[in-house]
Structure formats: C-alpha cells, structure tokens
Amino acid sequence: MDKPKSAGDRPIIQDLIKGTTYAWCSCGMSANQPWCNGAHGGSEFVPQVFEAKEDGKAAMCTCKKTKNPPFCDGAHMGS
C-alpha cells in the first residue's frame, strides 16, 4: 500500500488535553479512528505522534489527504 486508505469523508472532532501525547493514524487502517491502533504494522506508514498545545476541540483528519496532519484542512471536500 503506497497511499493511505481513506477512513472517512469528514473529520472527527476530538477533545484534546494540553500536554497529552496522541498518535494519529496515518494509514487509515485503524479501527480506532482517528487514533493509531497498530494496524499499519508491516507497512511504510507510522503514526503521527504529537503533543496537544492546548485544551480544546480539534478536527482530526480521516480522509488522510490533509496537508496539515493530523488536523483536517478540508482536503476531503475536493475528492
């Protein structure tokens, strides 16, 4: 698999907690979208690990086409 699998056609809104580390699924195979569950094993994909900079809601990309991973940038609307 050279391109990620789309896991949805709209973002998933998540409550992020400042200082917490998250692992966003970059392959689209996780059953725990938008978070990584290790389903990428054996592929070239790795999760996008990030630390929340502030408390609040965030639109997490599920189409896997965002230019601003792990956050939705509206790329799903152009597909």
What confidence tier does 78 reach under pLDDT thresholds 50, 70, 90? confident
**What does the pLDDT read at residue 67?**
96
Question: Nearest-5° angle of CA 76, CA 74, CA 59?
Answer: 105
CA distance 52 to 76: 23
pLDDT average, residue stretch 44-72: 97
% pLDDT > 70, the chain: 97
| Token pair belonging to 27 | 């392959």
Predicted pLDDT at 79 = 52
- Confidence band of 45 (pLDDT split at 50, 70, 90): very high
What residues does each domain of the chain span?
Answer: 1-72
Residue pLDDT, tens place only, 21-42: 999 999 999 999 999 999 999 9
| More confident of the two residues 18 and 3 | 18
